[in-house]
Amino acid sequence: MSSWRLTVQPYAVPLRRPLETAYGSTTLRRGALVSLIAPDGTIGHGELACLPQRPTHSLQDALQLLAACAFDLHNGTPPETILNHWARWDEAGTAARAALETALLDLRARQYGCSLAELLTPTPRPSIAVNAVITASDCDAAATAAAAARDAGYRVIKLKVGMAARGEEEIARVAAVRAAIGPDIALRLDANGAWTPEQAITMLRRLADYNLALVEQPVPAWDIEGLARVRRSVSVPIAADEAVTSREAVEQLCVAEAVDALVLKLPVVGGITVAHALAELAARHQCAIVVTSVFETGIGLAAAMHTAAAVPGELLACGLATASSLVTTLVTGLPEPVHGQLAIPHDEPGLGVALDKEALRFCADLMEDRHAITHARD
């Protein structure tokens, strides 16, 4: 019997417009698609998607981890064993684990003839609500993008904040977006940890007139006490995003009563089953869940969609309407948002998408990364 095999194809996908957040601006999404081949020939796909706007070494470290996985698989270690004994839980490690686990679950669902969501739960959600995300730092551009999202049927719009040099500029941008979308569309903010607790309290009190539905990560991820203080001091619900990295982190956030919602990102927490377990923990603390992308391509997005369809507890509108930010998703069959809803693909087994080989050839990042991964071979 032949062994398991793992192949990895790095990519570099241009964004249609710069991604602007409190971390800076980027125009290129780098990552890798992985293919796991079982001894019976069944193939499952996953995606390595370290956070954007991070140093290149995170991606390189993750590629080396997958190279080690490829070696172990080729030498007879089952993928479940590798995942169950995973030792690297830093940024590169969680992204690599998420990629391998997604490929394995896609493969298993294909073997069973069911969707990945159905593999996770017998009664997945048939569709999920999604929010539009606005990253433009210019006031007029942000308002124009928000109006377009409203016209496309989105009922929830998220605005990236924390980029302005002065508070007045931040407030003017929020005001412009609220004016563009009207009073009935839910407006969220995402500060990516850019404010101190004092700045966040001051800013959110000044923004109270704009009827904010949720504010994600107003203070740095490490400052759980500060996050709890912000939540006690303002009327708007608070979500943790960058702070959601592990079970221990979620327990600390919930015990501190620091959040109303948790944002789950598969490459950050370490994969689909970890995200599902964190959602179960959140539900026990009456904390809502948002599943969000990291602007990955179609394999990672499909995995996040199936995860959102299967997690227990209260699910808010998810940050999974990001495919249009990329020149290509590298797949075919990925559902597109319709009036702010994503239908989960159930007609095809596994993730329900297929690799777009022509797009892969176009975006393969062979110049920098072709020697970064070792492919296991028979």
In a domain, 341, yes or no: yes
DSSP 9: E
306 and 332 in a single domain? The answer is: yes
In a domain, 42, yes or no: yes
203 and 236 in a single domain? The answer is: yes
Instruction: Report yes or no: 259 and 244 within 8 Å, Cβ to Cβ.
Output: no
127 and 238 in a single domain? The answer is: yes
231 and 83 in a single domain? The answer is: no
In a domain, 304, yes or no: yes
The full DSSP string for 261-274 is EEEE-HHHHTSHHH
How remote is the C-alpha of 229 from its chain's centroid?
A: 26
pLDDT of residue 56: 67
What CATH number has the domain bearing residue 206?
A: 3.20.20.120
In a domain, 377, yes or no: no
| Enzyme catalytic residues | 160, 265
152 and 219 in a single domain? The answer is: yes
Cα dist from 116 to 5, 38, 39, 95, whole Å: 21, 17, 20, 19
In a domain, 127, yes or no: yes
- Count the domains in the chain: 2
pLDDT in tens, the chain (378 residues): 478 999 999 999 999 887 776 667 788 899 999 999 999 999 999 999 998 866 667 899 999 999 999 999 999 999 999 999 999 999 999 999 999 999 999 999 999 999 999 999 999 999 999 999 998 889 999 999 999 999 999 999 999 999 887 889 999 999 999 999 999 999 999 999 999 999 999 999 999 999 999 999 999 999 999 999 999 999 999 999 999 999 999 999 999 999 999 999 999 999 999 999 999 999 999 999 999 999 999 999 999 999 999 999 999 999 999 999 999 999 999 999 999 999 998 889 999 999 998 888 877 653 344 444 434 333
156 is in which domain, residue-wise?
Answer: 119-354
Instruction: Report yes or no: 5 and 376 within 8 Å, Cβ to Cβ.
Output: yes
253 and 309 in a single domain? The answer is: yes
pLDDT of residue 54: 65
296 and 238 in a single domain? The answer is: yes
pTM for the full predicted model? 0.92
Question: What does the angle CA 244 – CA 257 – CA 125 come to, to the nearest 5 degrees?
Answer: 55
pLDDT of residue 365: 52
pLDDT of residue 177: 98
Give, to the nearest 10 degrees, the angle between helix 247-255 and helix 272-284.
Answer: 20
183 and 171 in a single domain? The answer is: yes
Order of strands across the sheet with 212-216? 132-134, 156-160, 186-190, 212-216, 238-240, 261-264, 288-291
47 and 163 in a single domain? The answer is: no
DSSP 185: S
